[in-house]
Structure 1
Amino acid sequence: MDIVSLLVQALGGAIGGNIVGQLSRALSTGTLGNTVLGAIGGAIGAYVLPKLGIPAQAIDLAGSVDWQQILSQLGMGAGSGAIISGIIAAIRNATSRSA
């Protein structure tokens, strides 16, 4: 995994975390929380998804940029960021109601 892939997926994760927070107030941890949790989720996705056989390399060995791959990584990062952000927010909300 290269640093560009990690950063692209973290950015996508931050976007995905904020989208989930906007779509469902019950799954929101605030703008900063959604951004941070989403970025962490995107970074986790950058690590886990290649292990599952999903390619995550935006720059090939010749040094050219593959824009289709970058858009794919943004999407994967957004998905992982949305999932992690939503799960953490749901857990936080469930524990705060039971206390």
Structure 2
Amino acid sequence: MELIPLIIQLVSGAVGGNLTGAIFQKISLGTLGNSILGILGGGLGGQLLSMVGISLGGDGSLDLASIIGSVAGAAVGGGALMTIVGFIRSLLSK
């Protein structure tokens, strides 16, 4: 895997995790927790997209459609993982 697509996925995932934490404050894990889960979810989301066939820079090119798809997938993956873990944490704390 090339470095630039991975960096884009991880940063997008962190943004997605923090955005989800800002929207759903009851399940927020704080900036650090949201960022860590967002990074993990962004990496997983990017890998899932590449398995499906939507890859960023797989052939050495970075076209706009691939970048947008990767950013969206990683942000959704980061937000989804943060939501799942935050929801489970809120259920266990009751």
TM-score scaled to structure 2, two decimals?
Answer: 0.87
Q: Alignment partner of 1:8: what SS?
A: helix
State whether residues 14 and 38 of structure 1, in contact with CA within 8 Å, keep that contact through their aligned partners in structure 2: yes
What is the aligned partner in structure 1 of residue 67 from structure 2?
Answer: 70
Matched to 2:30, the amino acid is G
Shift in Å at residue 59 of structure 1? Answer: 5.9
**Structure 2 residue identity aligned to 1:75:** A
Match of 1:56 in 2: 55
1:24-71 CA-to-partner distances (Å, cap 9, x unmatched) read: 1112100111111001100011222222x231123633xx43133112
Indicate if the aligned counterparts of 1:2 and 1:57 stay in contact, CA closer than 8 A: no
- Tell me, which stretches of 5 or more residues in structure 2 are unaligned? none
Point out the structure with max Rg over C-alpha.
1
Aligned to 2:89: 92
Distance in 1 (CA, whole Å) between partners of 2:25 and 2:54 is: 33
Structure 2 equivalent of residue 24 of structure 1: 24
Q: Deviations over 1:55-89 (max 9, x none)?
A: 1123633xx43133112211110000000011011
Residue identity over aligned pairs, in percent, reads 33
Match of 1:3 in 2: 3
> What 5-or-longer segments of structure 1 have no aligned partner?
none
Decide whether the 8 Å contact of 1:38 with 1:82 is kept in 2: yes
C-alpha root-mean-square deviation of aligned residues, in Å?
1.6
